[in-house]
Structure 1
Amino acid sequence: MSETDLAAADSPIDVEVTSLGAAPVPLLRITPSDAPVDTALIHFHGGGYRKGSPEMFADSVSRIATACRMQVYSVGYRLSTRAPFPAALDDALAAYRWISDTVHPERLALWGDSAGGGLAAALLLRLRQLDLPRPAGAFLFSPWADLRNAAESFHENAPTDERFSLSQATVAAADYLSGHPATDPLVSPVLGDWAGQPRLVVQVSDTEVLRDDSVLLARVAAASGADVRLTVHPGQPHIWNLAYPSTDASRSAIAHMSEQLAELFAPTA
């Protein structure tokens, strides 16, 4: 199957969106015209592991890729409606292996939002298990990082989070786990060993139900010695950052992401 140009009418005109048919899992490569070809983000979309696709997120990803001057590989991992854990993680690993044959791991960073943020974090733990080269860092937007769903913020922020809820998380976790224990760090990365892991850049809002997942993951990773950059934004909806550039808060979030990427991939002397 050949590569197919999927450039969308509502995507920025200076971005090329290409379906990579040779990849082992569905992949979109989103390439701003001024992005270096030797550096990339690998994106894992949200949707509670139950829904979503690279195509659904292509416009948001294109706009953020343009702001950050980064090419992005967006991964179409299997959803829990087709296959439960570990299918999504297996697909994430297969995509990472394939992409790292083209872009060196030191020039790669993971990026995920909500369930995709949890999947990106789980992939870091899986790479360590397999003793494989890890990327330079990971950007986690409101990661769903604890499928035990016991965080206080599920209750405290229920009135202020219209996009995710404890009832939705309960159903989504049951589908994804399909009997697998939620205490496995590969589904609940807050329970993992983060020693020796690369930089984590975590963004979350103080009024969403996944606030505590994000804060706990950052705390656990930092306690293990990882370089963690946590930002808690006030009063924003779940994954508000994907709305870039439509709000002041989304522009602030993506400006921070762009600054961190520039620092992460700064030329060395």
Structure 2
Amino acid sequence: MSDHKKGVWVQTRLIPFPSSISPEARASLERGVNDDGVPLNALHTMPPTDDHAAWMTIKAAADGHYAAVVKGLAGTLRADVQTVRTGDATLHVATPETLLKPGCAYVDFHGGALVFGGGEACRAQARMQADQHGALCYGVDYRMPPEHPYPAAVDDAIAAYRYVLERHAASRVIVGGRSAGGNIAAAMLLRAKDEGLPLPAGLILLSPQVDLTESGDSFQVHQMVDVVLPGSLMRNNELYAGGADLSHPDLSPLFGNLSGLPPTFLQSGTRDLFLSNAVRMHRALRRAKVDAELHVFEAMPHGGFQGNTPEDQDLAAEVSRFIDARWR
């Protein structure tokens, strides 16, 4: 046997759902696996990056799924929403039923593995954010591959940010994104900093996809443990990059010059495939002297428990606290 130790052998075993979380959260995890314990999402594989027709078929199916979810939310959303364009960028501007924070704006970047989640899902998420924070929310419906690979999404993001700055003081703006949206939000702010634009009052990164090289520890340790995202998104990353270097800060903001970024809120979970992204981004921000706080939730998979669990409510309350403090 070689003297060079390459890692830790892990025997095949069942990893139980813990009793340390709420019954609602445990039920959410249980819904994410088959009777044999294999995550439902493990059955889905992405096509080769050059098979654009297959990607478009998957996008159409995803849009249908999101449309069904949005229809289910129809009775719970109160904010009005209008769609505007600035250059090539599309924004869904949501106005809450009661505007509690006039002059304030939340700029939201949706998730969806850099390929999905636009359209009606993006509009609905903007309305949800407006309802939660009592402020205008600009949901950025950035262009995505295979039709529009990098740098289209970042170009749209910076155009949207400029649009918001024409209407709001930077000190009254919060930028946020979940998963792939965290990638776009962070990459956009790095470009905004390079272009000399005023930076917002705060940045929110929820389970952010800030390292498209997938070099972090949790990409190995949490495979098939995260019931929402059980495996690599490398094919999505390569489709998005369109041949560009995945380690470039425009694609993997973790590797950029983070000095000067605004106070940042990061979130992940102990079963999140992207846990290393949040942990490493937090440390990188701290090394860059950025005020950053990291919230890691017990047994939470990628994107949260996706329901009205006590843990999801706790996270929402922490995000609201962070935003309110920045706006004050």
- TM-score, with structure 2 as normaliser: 0.74
Secondary structure in 2 matching 1:88: helix
When Rg is computed on C-alpha atoms for both structures, the one with the higher figure is: 2
The answer to whether structure 1 residue 213 and structure 2 residue 295 are counterparts is no
Secondary structure in 1 matching 2:89: coil
The equivalent of 1:38 in structure 2 is 103
Distance, in Å, in 1 between the alignment partners of 2:134 and 2:170 is 18
**Residue 91 of structure 2: which of 3, 12, 27 is its match?**
27
Contact 1:27 1:76 (C-alpha < 8 Å) held by counterparts: yes
For residue 17 of structure 1, report the CA deviation from its aligned partner.
1.7
Distance, in Å, in 1 between the alignment partners of 2:158 and 2:266 is 21
More divergent stretch after superposition (57-66 vs 47-56):
57-66
Contact 1:24 1:95 (C-alpha < 8 Å) held by counterparts: no
**Paired AA for residue 223 in structure 2:** A
The equivalent of 1:120 in structure 2 is 185
**Paired AA for residue 164 in structure 1:** L
**Paired AA for residue 172 in structure 1:** N
Distance, in Å, in 1 between the alignment partners of 2:78 and 2:110 is 22
The equivalent of 1:251 in structure 2 is 313
Distance, in Å, in 1 between the alignment partners of 2:247 and 2:85 is 35
Between the two proteins, the alignment pairs up a number of residues equal to 257
The answer to whether structure 1 residue 265 and structure 2 residue 327 are counterparts is yes
**Paired AA for residue 159 in structure 2:** A
Distance 1:152 1:28, change over 3 A: same
For residue 162 of structure 1, report the CA deviation from its aligned partner.
2.6
Distance, in Å, in 2 between the alignment partners of 1:70 and 1:11 is 20
- TM-score, with structure 1 as normaliser: 0.89
For residue 65 of structure 1, report the CA deviation from its aligned partner.
3.0
Structure 1: give runs of 5+ residues left out of the alignment. 1-6
User: How far does the alpha carbon of each residue in 1:83-102 deviate from its partner, in whole angstroms, 9 at most, with x for none?
Assistant: 11111000000111111111
Contact 1:158 1:208 (C-alpha < 8 Å) held by counterparts: no
The equivalent of 2:56 in structure 1 is none
User: How far does the alpha carbon of each residue in 1:51-81 deviate from its partner, in whole angstroms, 9 at most, with x for none?
Assistant: 1115214444433432322221001111021
Contact 1:16 1:30 (C-alpha < 8 Å) held by counterparts: yes
- How do residues 1-269 of structure 1 correspond to structure 2 at under 5 angstroms? 10-12=74-76, 14-21=78-85, 24-35=88-99, 36-167=101-232, 169-240=233-304, 243=306, 246-266=308-328
**Paired AA for residue 258 in structure 2:** W
Contact 2:129 2:137 (C-alpha < 8 Å) held by counterparts: no
Q: What is the Cα-based RMSD across aligned positions, in Å?
A: 1.9
More divergent stretch after superposition (151-160 vs 107-116):
151-160
Distance 1:22 1:145, change over 3 A: closer
The equivalent of 2:44 in structure 1 is none
Secondary structure in 2 matching 1:83: coil
Contact 1:27 1:75 (C-alpha < 8 Å) held by counterparts: yes
Distance, in Å, in 1 between the alignment partners of 2:79 and 2:171 is 24
Distance 1:237 1:110, change over 3 A: same
Distance 1:85 1:211, change over 3 A: same
For residue 240 of structure 1, report the CA deviation from its aligned partner.
1.6
Secondary structure in 2 matching 1:20: strand
**Paired AA for residue 258 in structure 1:** S
Distance, in Å, in 2 between the alignment partners of 1:143 and 1:11 is 29
Residue identity (%): 28
